[in-house]
Amino acid sequence: MQEKPKKFTFNVFVENTIDGAYIAHCMETGLVATSKDVNELPFKMAKMLYRQISFAIENNNEADIFHAAPPDVWERFFKFKGAPPEHLEKNIQVGGVGFILGQNTYAAAAGAH
């Protein structure tokens, strides 16, 4: 019987910066991505999450995936979280084992989605 893929779901919070760029925070892992193009951020973050998960799984250390974002980012995230997220889901393989990477993106930035 084939093992059901493990599912990881992460929340990503996008904010705009003073200089017009955007910053994405993965709330559960503490990963941060920046871009001038807000539409690029979910894909940048998915790539970073894939690398983080792959490294942890290949080294038999799933706990290494999770390093929470700083408290001030969580505070801003909870203030904003009322809007529905954009959801991205991707099937990945690490060492022959299947995983599902789910990402909920919350955009606080004006015009971001």
The residue ranges of every structural domain in the chain are 6-107
Question: Which neighbouring-strand residues pair with 88?
Answer: 103
The predicted structure's pLDDT at residue 102:
79
User: Token pair 């290494």 is at which residue?
Assistant: 64
Q: How many CB atoms are located within 10 Å of the residue 59 CB?
A: 9
Angstrom distance (rounded) from CA 54 to CA 107:
26
For the residues 81-107, what does the mean pLDDT come to?
Answer: 72
**What SS3 state is found at 76?**
helix
Query: How long is the chain?
Result: 113
Residue 41 has what DSSP assignment? H
**What SS3 state is found at 45?**
helix
For the residues 92-105, what does the mean pLDDT come to?
Answer: 73
Model pLDDT for residues 12-38, shown as the tens digit of each residue = 898 988 888 999 999 999 999 999 998
For the residues 62-76, what does the mean pLDDT come to?
Answer: 91
Whether the Cβ atoms of residue 105 and residue 22 lie closer than 8 Å to each other: no
Q: What percent of the chain has pLDDT over 70?
A: 82
Confidence band of 3 (pLDDT split at 50, 70, 90): low
For the residues 65-74, what does the mean pLDDT come to?
Answer: 92
